[in-house]
């Protein structure tokens, strides 16, 4: 709860809307920062003043009209994504004014929504921004993908692509904390490579822009990898299949390298190697693993509090810069979780 007096509410809230479906890389003219009247809550609803907004690569898929696992964004309406903020008006039992909540009401300064679609969080237990990242859906994605989808076990050698990102950095650290024999990561700059090794404790890391991924991976993991956590796809996925050990597992979380392609990307040319290795590739969505949330918080929360599991955030100030923050995620500008502070 906050003891700070709530300032008078403005009449309107700014929100980002999708105006047209991007072809290839999203462009500024595909979006609009518009004003909308702030709606007072009806029975069972709350009004939230957002403090932080989440920007995530998966949002690119929802900008397309193509059938997918999540409904496309509606043109002319506010785009939905995770946010965390403070309840400033409430018509819901059990959610008083001053409660801090996480919700998925989207890229806007104020959100009115059903209280049942919010999750209370404690701003004194951890910074509010962490509930969108290391202790939120980002962290659960890493936890579920590594432990359940990839069936990680102590002694596994693990390779993570996009390892300096919000999910990838947590995957590598979880693997290390749980007894991996070797943790290898790829990233898009020498600075990020140093971060992976020096701060996050990866055993080895490489800049995928410095040469073929397959060659750099074989050098970093000469005995092969048991688990590959895929955030990138493309050349990385092919390289991982080439280095996969007997009975290896690949968890496909994302394929950011192909999100803006206008033509179908070529598939890995070495899929037949899965026959030799008895390897397995499995995609996953974090929403299918909500049952792991209590175990995730119980196990990972103390690691975050003690500093055993480190995290970085790239914070962009101002709702007006939300689109640029999103494009920055697609370019790989962020280190750790990309967040917009309002």
Of residues 335 and 257, more confidence is placed in: 335
What is the structure's pLDDT at 265? Answer: 67
The burial class, CB within 10 Å (0-12 / 13-18 / 19+), for 122 is exposed
For the chain, how many residues are written? 342
Mean pLDDT of 174-189: 97
List, for residues 126-149, the tens digit of each pLDDT value: 889 999 989 988 899 999 999 999
What is the structure's pLDDT at 187? Answer: 96
Confidence class for position 5, pLDDT limits 50, 70, 90: low
What is the structure's pLDDT at 145? Answer: 98
Confidence class for position 2, pLDDT limits 50, 70, 90: very low
CA 186/CA 168 separation, integer angstroms: 9
What is the structure's pLDDT at 168? Answer: 94
**At which residue do the structure tokens 């999708």 appear?**
18
What is the structure's pLDDT at 334? Answer: 86
What proportion of the chain, given as a percentage, has pLDDT over 70? 95
* Domains assigned to the chain: 12-133+312-341 (3.90.180.10), 137-287 (3.40.50.720)
Q: What share of the chain is helix, strand, coil (3-state, %, to 5)?
A: 30, 25, 40
List, for residues 65-90, the tens digit of each pLDDT value: 877 777 889 999 999 889 999 999 99
What is the structure's pLDDT at 264? Answer: 64
What is the CB-side half-sphere exposure of residue 205 using CA atoms within 13 A? 27
What is the structure's pLDDT at 287? Answer: 85
Confidence class for position 125, pLDDT limits 50, 70, 90: confident
Mean pLDDT of 201-215: 97
Strand ranges inside the chain, DSSP E: 12-18, 31-37, 45-54, 83-90, 100-103, 110-114, 119-121, 157-160, 182-187, 204-207, 225-230, 244-252, 280-283, 313-317, 337-341
Q: Compute the mean pLDDT over every residue in the chain, rounded to the nearest whole number.
A: 92
* Of 114-118, 171-175, 187-191, 293-297, minimum mean pLDDT range: 293-297
Mean pLDDT of 174-180: 98
List, for residues 283-342, the tens digit of each pLDDT value: 999 889 989 988 998 899 899 989 999 998 999 999 999 999 999 998 888 887 899 999
Taking the model in full, what pTM does it have? Answer: 0.79
What is the structure's pLDDT at 261? Answer: 59
pLDDT surpasses 50 at 1 = no
pLDDT surpasses 90 at 273 = yes
């Amino acid at each position: 709860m906050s003891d700070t007096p709530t300032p008078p509410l403005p009449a309107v809230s700014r929100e980002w809307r999708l105006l047209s479906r991007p072809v290839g890389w999203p462009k500024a003219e595909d979006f609009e920062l518009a004003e909308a009247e702030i709606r007072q809550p009806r029975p069972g609803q709350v009004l939230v003043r957002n403090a932080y907004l989440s920007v995530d690569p998966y949002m690119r898929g929802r900008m397309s009209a193509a059938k997918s696992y999540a409904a496309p964004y509606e043109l002319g309406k506010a785009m939905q994504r995770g946010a965390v903020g403070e309840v400033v008006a409430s018509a819901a039992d059990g959610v008083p004014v001053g409660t801090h909540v996480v919700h998925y009401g989207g890229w806007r300064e104020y959100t009115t929504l059903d209280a049942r679609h919010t999750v209370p969080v404690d701003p004194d237990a951890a910074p509010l921004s962490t509930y969108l990242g290391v202790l939120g859906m980002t962290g659960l994605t890493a936890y579920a993908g590594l432990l359940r989808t990839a069936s990680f076990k102590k002694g596994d050698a693990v390779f993570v692509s996009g390892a300096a990102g919000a999910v990838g950095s947590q995957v590598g650290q979880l693997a290390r904390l749980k007894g991996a024999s070797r943790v290898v990561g790829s990233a898009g700059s020498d600075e990020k490579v140093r971060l992976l090794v020096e701060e996050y404790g990866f055993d080895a890391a490489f800049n995928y822009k410095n040469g073929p991924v397959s060659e750099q991976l074989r050098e970093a993991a000469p005995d092969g990898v048991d688990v590959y956590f895929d955030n990138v796809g493309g050349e990385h996925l092919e390289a991982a299949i080439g280095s996969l050990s007997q009975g290896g597992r690949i968890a496909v979380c994302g394929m950011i390298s192909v999100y803006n392609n206008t033509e179908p990307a070529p598939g890995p040319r070495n899929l037949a190697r899965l026959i030799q290795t008895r390897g397995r590739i499995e995609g996953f969505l974090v929403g299918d693993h909500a049952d792991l949330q209590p175990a995730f918080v119980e196990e990972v929360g103390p690691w975050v509090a003690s500093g055993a599991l480190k995290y970085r955030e790239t914070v962009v100030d101002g709702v007006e810069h939300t689109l640029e923050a999103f494009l920055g995620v697609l370019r790989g500008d962020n280190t750790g979780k990309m967040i917009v502070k309002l």
